[in-house]
Amino acid sequence: MSAKKSQSSGVTGRDSFTSSFGVLVALAGSAVGLGNLWRFPYLVGENGGAAFIFIYIVFVFILCLPIMYSEFIIGRRSQKNVFGAFKVLAPGSKWGIVGIFSVLSALCILSFYSVVGGWSIEYLAKAITFDFTRGSEANLDTMFGDFVSSPIKPLVWHVVFLLLTALVVIAGIKKGIERYTKMMMPLLFLMIIVIAVRSVTLEGAKEGITYLFKPDFSKVTFDTLLSALGQAFFSLSIGCGTIMTYASYVSKSENIVKMSALTAVADTTFAIIAGCAIMPAVFAFGISPGEGPGLVFITLPKIFAQMPLGGILAIVFFFILLIAALTSSISLLEVVVAYLKEEFKMKRTTAVIIGSSIFLVTGCLASLSMGVLSDVKIFGKTFFDLFDTLSSDFFLTTCGLLVVLFVGWRLGKANVMDELTNSGTLKLPKWFTEMTFFIIRFVAPATILVIMIFG
């Protein structure tokens, strides 16, 4: 990966990334998150091991990459926020709705993401003070439930997490997002590798490795396909305006195809290493694997408590969780900030303050819905679950669908080719560009519709 300098988009005077590496780490930072750590390893194990990984990779590279290019094309061509982009590319049309949906999508995700980000700070603090190794197992069972349902502590950490996010975003693209993700992403990879090495060399790790990698195609059902596709969407951060927003700060000389492919490779590699870090250890200690908050905040602390050097590894792990959540939440806040800043002519600082204040409120609702507000239900769901379900089941897929429809049918082939090849200066094989356009136009919308109907 060359760290060549790209030309900044000086004409528009907009802030921008300064290097290819900067774009890559920012995109990978958005993609690598809770999805890789607490969902992917479990999905793999339960759905046929290597068989699932194979299907997942096919979906990522055949179907999701063209959707990523589509978001990239909209963002980079317009050099605008998710709403403004459509005013430039389709003036006078109603396509701006895609931008509004993207902002809402980002809003729903960050509302629960920042709460979990707060939890990871609390658990990092517990790890640093060796709380897991001191208490009894029964303690560890109730520790998480007691913590999330308490009224004050999770709120305080949520605010701290939002503050950290806001501080990075306030500094802008070059001096904030690029600078900090450049420091955090290599560290993140390094740390997960350390944990994976420890985990696979534990006695009894073999069963976990078998669980993850033994191919079993008999477990592959239609539901497996739906899970693989849903996970690919969520993990690559598709359908929420992040790629569009980041792409709007990317130079016209950058190679969209290469950049998206590298992001997908980084995200998938991280997910597989995370699997190796978590599952072998879970099996080595004879605990049954689970997913989500239970896996990360209950099962893993129990394992760290028993493992040689577990106290130190716990610190590393919760630091990973915090950074993974932070680099994703930065990208989510930027979607909203870019929108407020450009559409309402605000200063960046004002936009960050207003954006974060909105998340402060929605995040508090999500956080309190684990305790005092647990009886308040909308459509039968607590606030936390509502934000999660609304984003995963509705906004991400709807935005993804509208994006490919826009690029495939409204923007049209000539524009897509022009943007993919940087106005003809990049030589891409004809079969490749033709196939990509065909997927954007027909295959992707059809597949997303199938997920929406059956998912």
Measured from the CB of residue 314, what is the shortest distance to ligand TRP in angstroms?
21
User: Residue 36, interface with ligand TRP (CB under 6 A)?
Assistant: yes
How far is CA 315 from each of CA 195, 320, 416, rounded to the nearest angstrom?
A: 11, 9, 46
Closest CA to 451 of 113, 104, 64: 64
Q: Using CB under 6 A, count the residues that bind ligand TRP.
A: 15
Nearer to ligand TRP, 40 or 95 (CB): 40
Measured from the CB of residue 211, what is the shortest distance to ligand TRP in angstroms?
21
Measured from the CB of residue 40, what is the shortest distance to ligand TRP in angstroms?
8
User: Residue 307, interface with ligand TRP (CB under 6 A)?
Assistant: no
User: Residue 30, interface with ligand TRP (CB under 6 A)?
Assistant: yes
Measured from the CB of residue 270, what is the shortest distance to ligand TRP in angstroms?
9
**Interaction mask 104-123, ligand TRP, x per CB under 6 A:** -----x--------------
User: Residue 260, interface with ligand TRP (CB under 6 A)?
Assistant: no
User: Residue 234, interface with ligand TRP (CB under 6 A)?
Assistant: yes
User: Residue 35, interface with ligand TRP (CB under 6 A)?
Assistant: yes
Name which position in 111, 237, 299, 436 contacts ligand TRP (CB under 6 A).
237
Nearer to ligand TRP, 110 or 143 (CB): 110
Nearer to ligand TRP, 298 or 325 (CB): 325
Name which position in 26, 28, 31, 43 contacts ligand TRP (CB under 6 A).
31
Closest CA to 70 of 400, 443, 391, 336: 400
Query: What's the length of the chain?
Result: 455
Q: Which of the ranges 198-206, 280-288, 327-335, 444-452 carries the binding residues for ligand TRP, by CB under 6 A? A: 327-335
Q: Which of the ranges 131-139, 144-152, 325-333, 437-445 carries the binding residues for ligand TRP, by CB under 6 A? A: 325-333
Per-residue tokens: 425? 């200066």
Q: Which of the ranges 114-122, 132-140, 175-183, 229-237 carries the binding residues for ligand TRP, by CB under 6 A? A: 229-237
Nearer to ligand TRP, 333 or 364 (CB): 333
Nearer to ligand TRP, 36 or 81 (CB): 36
User: Residue 320, interface with ligand TRP (CB under 6 A)?
Assistant: no
Measured from the CB of residue 372, what is the shortest distance to ligand TRP in angstroms?
27
Nearer to ligand TRP, 102 or 299 (CB): 102
User: Residue 328, interface with ligand TRP (CB under 6 A)?
Assistant: yes
Nearer to ligand TRP, 29 or 408 (CB): 29
Neighbouring C-alpha atoms within 13 Å toward the C-beta of 430: 0
Measured from the CB of residue 151, what is the shortest distance to ligand TRP in angstroms?
27
Nearer to ligand TRP, 143 or 166 (CB): 166
CA distance 427 to 339: 34
Q: Do 71 and 86 contact (CB within 8 A), yes or no?
A: no
Measured from the CB of residue 64, what is the shortest distance to ligand TRP in angstroms?
12
Q: Which of the ranges 55-63, 235-243, 252-260, 371-379 carries the binding residues for ligand TRP, by CB under 6 A? A: 235-243
Q: Which residue is nearest to ligand TRP (CB)?
A: 33
List contacts with ligand TRP (CB under 6 A): 30-31, 33-36, 109, 234-235, 237, 240, 242, 328, 331-332
